[in-house]
Structures are given as C-alpha cells and as structure tokens.
A and B are shown apart, each in its own frame.
Chain A
Amino acid sequence: GQQLNQSPQSMFIQEGEDVSMNCTSSSIFNTWLWYKQDPGEGPVLLIALYKAGELTSNGRLTAQFGITRKDSFLNISASIPSDVGIYFCAGQAGDDMRFGAGTRLTVKP
C-alpha cells in the first residue's frame, strides 16, 4: 500500500531552535495525525487534525491540515532535549491509515 512522503528523514538541531517537518500524499485523507515515538516504545499521539485548513497547537507543537487534504506539517518551537525521537505523520480515510517513514530528530544541548 501507498505510504506517505515525510520529510526530512532526519534533523540535527541545537536546543532552542525551531523545527518543521511535513508529509505529503497523492491521496486525500479525512484526518491527519502526528505521533512521536521514543526508542523501544510505541508511538504516542501528539496532535490530530480533522478539517482541511485546520491549524492546531499543543504547547510548543503546531500542526496544520493542508487545504488540499493531501498534506500536513508539524512545527516544534524552542526545541528542548526531550524532543528527541522519531516523529510520524499518519493520514486516515475510513479504515485506511497510512504512515510516513518518520523524521528522526536529534537535539544538541
């Protein structure tokens, strides 16, 4: 099945910097989700988006559901060391949920 195109694959940033990552798809989704995964653990939901154009924040995280319903981005402001991990986007349409390959974030103190 088709997976989402998530970029960048990895990021190395300094503590305090802002981060941006995005996902695109050739298919339309009704819901976009962003997850964070710590090593050896399951992904944890960060933000869920349900409407095209929707912009949602969760603390230092902001995500948007693209107007075309084929893309989404996640921003993290003022990064801190505990932001380290792999961030996954997911698009859902009915019973079909597809995941990006993940963005591996490293934050240097």
Chain B
Amino acid sequence: DGGITQSPKYLFRKEGQNVTLSCEQNLNHDAMYWYRQDPGQGLRLIYYSQIVNDFQKGDIAEGYSVSREKKESFPLTVTSAQKNPTAFYLCASIARGTGGDYGYTFGSGTRLTVV
C-alpha cells in the first residue's frame, strides 16, 4: 500500500541534543512538508520541499533543519537551538496535478518529548 511512514512514533530528547525524525513516502509525490502541532493550535509549517535538493522555510523554521536528497525521503532534524521542541510532528506529501492539487496525505506523526 502506498503511504507515508514516519518514525519513530515516540521520541525522547535530552536538553542540548539534536534528533532526527524520519519521513518516507512511496506515493511518488513531488512535494513534502513538515508541520508541528501543539494542543489547541492548528498545524504550523516548519519546512517544505517541492523537488529534490530544494527546500524552503515555513513559518516556524528556526531551530529545525531538513534535507531532500531523495524524492521519497524528507528527514527533519530538531536541533538544540529549538527551545521548545516538545510537540507532535506531522509529515505530509502532495501530488502536483495539472488541474490542481488534491490535498495532503499525512503520516501518522512523531511525538517528541524533551526530558
């Protein structure tokens, strides 16, 4: 089955540590996105990538970094510069169509907790 796989499901980070969240898709989608979700808030865009080897900052990119070396993969690194990293992280991808886009397909999320 095609879809987006995020791993791990739960991740614990110590203060000052960098951690990397994995996102892999086999949907052959061009564009991939990372969102952060906090309780009572909508999804906030961290980074997005429309093609391989290219990515752009979203609304809350500070303290995060990404890479897009392969079409299928878009890992997110939460660096020690991110002062409040505890949140639920969602990866999404979208197919580009000539008639428009058809909404995101989301992964099942990674819950990151600072300990």
List the interface of chain A (C-beta within 8 A of B).
1, 3-4, 6, 9, 30-31, 33, 35, 40-45, 48, 50, 88, 90, 92, 95, 97-102
Contacts and interface: CB of A to CB of B under 8 A. Distances in A.
B84 interface: no
B106 A97 contact: no
B12 interface: no
A5 B35 CA distance: 18
B108 A42 contact: yes
Interface stretch (B14-22, B63-71, B95-103): B95-103
A43 B42 contact: no
Contacts of A4: 42
B90 A1 contact: no
12 contacts: A1-B58, A40-B108, A40-B111, A42-B106, A43-B106, A45-B104, A48-B102, A48-B103, A95-B31, A97-B45, A97-B104, A99-B42
B42 A100 contact: yes
B2 interface: no
CB-based closest 3 A-B pairs: A42-B106, A99-B42, A99-B43
Contact of A31 (B4, B44, B101): B101
Nearest to B94: A97
A88 B59 contact: no
A26 to B, nearest CB: 15
Contacts of A9: 40
Contacts of A40: 108-109, 111
Nearest to A45: B103
A1 B109 contact: no
Contact of A42 (B31, B40, B90, B101): B90
A29 to B, nearest CB: 12
Contacts of B41: 3, 101
Given A40-B111, A42-B90, A42-B109, A31 B100 contact: yes
Nearest to B111: A40
A46 to B, nearest CB: 10
Contacts of B105: 45
